[in-house]
Structure formats: structure tokens, C-alpha cells
Amino acid sequence: MQDKNPLSTFGPDLNEFSRDVNFLTLAKNSDFIYLRASGSGTGKLRIDNKFLEFAKECRRLGIPCGAYHFAKPSKDLDSAVIQADQFIDVLQQGFGDGDYGDLFPVLDVETPTDKSLTTTELVNWIDRFRDRFEEKTRRRLMLYTGLFFIGLYDDFKVPGKGYPLSDMPLWIAMYTRIPSNPRIPPNVGGWKRWTMWQFTDEGKLDGVGSPVDLNWGPNSIDSLMPPSAVTGLNAYISGNKIFVNWTANKEDDLNGYNVFVNDNYAGTLPRKATKIVIDKSRFYLPKGKPIKISIEAFDITGDFSKERTEYILDNNGEFLG
């Protein structure tokens, strides 16, 4: 995988054992912060004692913030659904209804809680958690795991399926202080790049009074966040056409836009597009009824704007609000 570079973003991950946390200081020396939201290591959901407080502080100071769930995989795929639903609920307690954080939500799988679990069973469990989470939230899920753990489970390779998890953004733990570790994370599990690299669990950072986990991130914080809502949306009707335009998003990892008419899909445009012409005859648009034009941006990882931007027309092409 790649090494860090001078443009790499940087930030700690914190939990209830992090002491004397000064978020004003962290806002100056960190590009992002990850928090432990919850865990199921004991077999029962437990919310981190500091999650709600820390999430509130990050939001107050405008520090990009995400959160993770420490999982307990098992042979029972229903438990993946249960833990995903619990994580979704906890995230909303910390960030607000329908809000799952600024950064990728993260599934943390790092210890063999059930040593009888096969590689296929483990990968299937993670995949089921991922499917449930992404289906309910429309947010991409990042996987946190360790280099040692991937090796323990056959490089996460499933016979006949290859590497089913390798399309997930990867947050890999590999500590450079361990002599047997390579200088940078190697290609493992089907991944050739990390999204985040936890390079130490014994770091020192102004703003945290205890040794702390430290991480390198992508060159742009955009690569950890969903695209912002589209701005400058405008639309008008001329004849049988709806003319729509907007202001281009500026995210480095922007991939394109989806446009909708009354919540029905109207088209997908590339990242540089700022307009579309829609044929009204494609949709049932009763005269005298408002027409809702909406748009969302999406990035190269498949994350979408948290909210669609809307513009309401009457059927004469006038803006209604």
C-alpha cells in the first residue's frame, strides 16, 4: 500500500479512556477525530461513556468527526443485523436524527472473539453488517482492522469469491514501533490502498493527556466525507422541456450528480456537469400540480450528499419555493 506523504491528513481516535481531552487544542492540530460510539465485545451493546460528550464538542468546534462500533462477529448473521441497527441508533444519539457523522462510519473488527469462526463465516458476517448499515443509512461503511488480524483469517480471502470486503474503505492498524512489521502497510485482503492508517497506539498529542491512537488519512478530508449538498439549484420550463442548472461542487473526490423529478430518477451527470435538460413527457406531471426538482452529489466511493437540494416549480415553470 501507499506510504504517508506531506499532504496526508492526520487525527486521533478517542474513547472513554482518553483523559484530559482539550478539543480547542485538537481543533488546531488535527484534521479529524474518530470516536468510539459503541461496542458489543461482551455480547451486549455498550455505548462508550464519552461518545455523546465528545461528539457534541467536535460539532461545537467544527472538527470533522466520525465514529466506530467495536463488533463481536459470530456464526449468526442475524447478530450482524442487530449490531448494525444498534450502531445506527447510537450514531443518531450522538449526531442527531438521520445524521451518522461527518466521516465514514466504521465497523471495527480486530479480535477473534469466537476462535471457531471460519474465514468465510467472518467475512459473511462483516458483509451482512455492511449491507444492513448501508441499506438503512445510504452511507458507505469503512472497515477498521489490523494487519495481524487479516493474516489470522486467510487474508480475508473466501474460496470461490476472492476478496468480498476489498471494495470497502480500509482503516488499517499497523504499528511501526513493532520490529517485525514492515515500514508501510503491505497489500493485504485485496486492498492496495488504505483510506486511513493507524500507525501507533502509543502516540503523544497536545490536547490528550494520555497515550493515544494516531492516524494518517487521505490527502484531502473530502475523501473521508460525503459530498456537501448541491447549491445554486435553479430550474424553469420552456415548452416540453425542464431546464435545470446548479453550482458545481468542489470536493476533490466528486464523481457526479443524480437528478430527480418528483423523486423519480431523471438522470446522472458527470462531475463537471452543471446543467441538464429534461423531457417532461418522461414523467406524469398533472397540470396545476407542483413539480419538484431535486439533486444530490455522489463521490468516487459511492457516498451521497446527506440531503437532496430541492427546487419547486408549478406546471407553468414558475418558482414556488
pLDDT of residue 287: 86
Beta bridge partners of 238: 241
SS3 label, residue 149? helix
Quick: pLDDT tens for 136-173.
999 999 999 999 999 999 999 999 999 999 999 999 99
What is the phi/psi pair of residue 70, to 5°? -80, 110
Say if residue 3's pLDDT is above 70: yes
All CATH 2.60.40.10 domain ranges of the chain, comma separated, are 231-313
Cα–Cα distance, 145 to 270 (Å, whole number): 33
All CATH 3.20.20.80 domain ranges of the chain, comma separated, are 10-224
| Cα angle 227-228-232, degrees, rounded to a multiple of 5 | 125
Quick: pLDDT tens for 84-142.
999 999 999 999 999 999 999 999 999 866 779 999 999 999 999 999 999 999 999 99
Strands (E), the chain: 10-14, 33-39, 46-47, 65-70, 106-108, 142-146, 170-173, 196-203, 212-216, 231-238, 241-247, 254-261, 264-270, 275-279, 291-299, 309-313
Question: Percentage of the chain surpassing pLDDT 70?
Answer: 98
Say if residue 283's pLDDT is above 60: yes
CA within 13 Å, CB half, 212: 26
Show the cell assigned to 161: 469469491
Owner of C-alpha cell 474503505 = 169
pLDDT of residue 114: 76
Cα–Cα distance, 185 to 205 (Å, whole number): 23
- Class (C level, CATH) for 231-313: mainly beta
Quick: pLDDT tens for 185-242.
999 999 999 999 999 999 999 999 879 999 999 999 999 999 999 999 999 999 999 9
- Of the pLDDT bands very low, low, confident and very high (cuts 50, 70, 90), residue 317 is low
Strands (E), 53-195: 65-70, 106-108, 142-146, 170-173
Say if residue 299's pLDDT is above 90: yes
Beta bridge partners of 275: 245
Question: Percentage of the chain surpassing pLDDT 90?
Answer: 93
Query: 0.75 exceeded by the pTM?
Result: yes
CATH code, 10-224: 3.20.20.80
Cα–Cα distance, 82 to 72 (Å, whole number): 11
- Of the pLDDT bands very low, low, confident and very high (cuts 50, 70, 90), residue 54 is very high
- Among 106-110, 256-260, 315-319, the range scoring the smallest mean pLDDT is 315-319
Q: Report the amino acid identity of residue 10.
A: F
pLDDT of residue 321: 54
Kindly state the average pLDDT of the residues 58-70: 99
pLDDT of residue 320: 56
pLDDT of residue 41: 84
Mean pLDDT of the chain: 96
